A and B are shown apart, each in its own frame.
Chain A
Amino acid sequence: MTLRDQIRNVIDDEPVAIFIKGTPDRPACGNSMRALQALWNAGAPITAIDVLPDPQIRQELSSLSDWPTIPQVFVKGELIGGADITEELFASGELGRKLDEALGEEREQVVKTVSVAATAA
């Protein structure tokens, strides 16, 4: 499977996917941390994908999403935004409402990491 297809699958299959620099335990960038924090505080399950292992991940992701910067947050396959929008939506309460609507109010808050990598055919 191409790297692009792997990225698309993660976006489509995970309830909440966030592409970050680093990992949820050790975010390597303040903006990734801000977005993770807002998701966590909104009670979101979090599937994190580190873009740092390969610059191609970020290239493919940005060309798929039409969004140039990291982090990028997707709920049920839809781009919610980067750190600023995620924080803004959390502060206004809209992020919680969006999550309730997409995933139900009784959702389990699990944090996991998934990796994507270019593989030889």
Chain B
Amino acid sequence: MAIETIRALLEQAFPDGDVAVVDRTGGDDHFHVMVESGAFAGLSLVEQHRLVNRALADPLADGSIHELRITTKG
């Protein structure tokens, strides 16, 4: 999965957000995503990560993201 596709999915889910994606191993399947968005206001970390996981549900389900690290900021 290309890093651009991940970024596009996140930008679509968090239109106001600041999105950064790092390919941790250079293999196009271990990613670290960092999202800063007003959508996280008042949410627990679990709920914040759920929003990110939902935005990436398809690539997570089909295995094109093998490993995902998430950092969120409200």
A→B interface (CB under 8 Å): 30-31, 66-69, 79-85, 88-89
Contacts and interface: CB of A to CB of B under 8 A. Distances in A.
Contacts of B53: 67-69
A88 B46 CA distance: 12
Chain B interface size band reads 10 to 19
A69 B65 CA distance: 10
Interface stretch (B12-20, B35-43, B66-74): B66-74
A81 B47 CA distance: 9
Contacts of B67: 30-31
Interface of B: 45-46, 49-50, 53, 57, 60-61, 67-71
B13 to A, nearest CB: 15
User: Top 8 nearest A-B pairs by Cβ distance?
Assistant: A85-B45, A68-B60, A68-B53, A84-B70, A81-B46, A84-B69, A79-B46, A81-B45
Nearest to A69: B68
| Chain B binding surface SS class | helix
A83 B53 CA distance: 14
Contact of B50 (A66, A80, A89): A66
Nearest to B57: A68
Nearest to A89: B45
A82 B50 contact: no
Residue with the greatest number of chain A CB neighbours at <10 A, chosen from B45, B53, B57, B61 = B45
15 contacts: A31-B67, A66-B50, A67-B46, A68-B53, A68-B60, A68-B61, A69-B53, A81-B45, A81-B46, A81-B49, A82-B70, A83-B69, A84-B49, A85-B45, A85-B46
Contacts of B68: 69
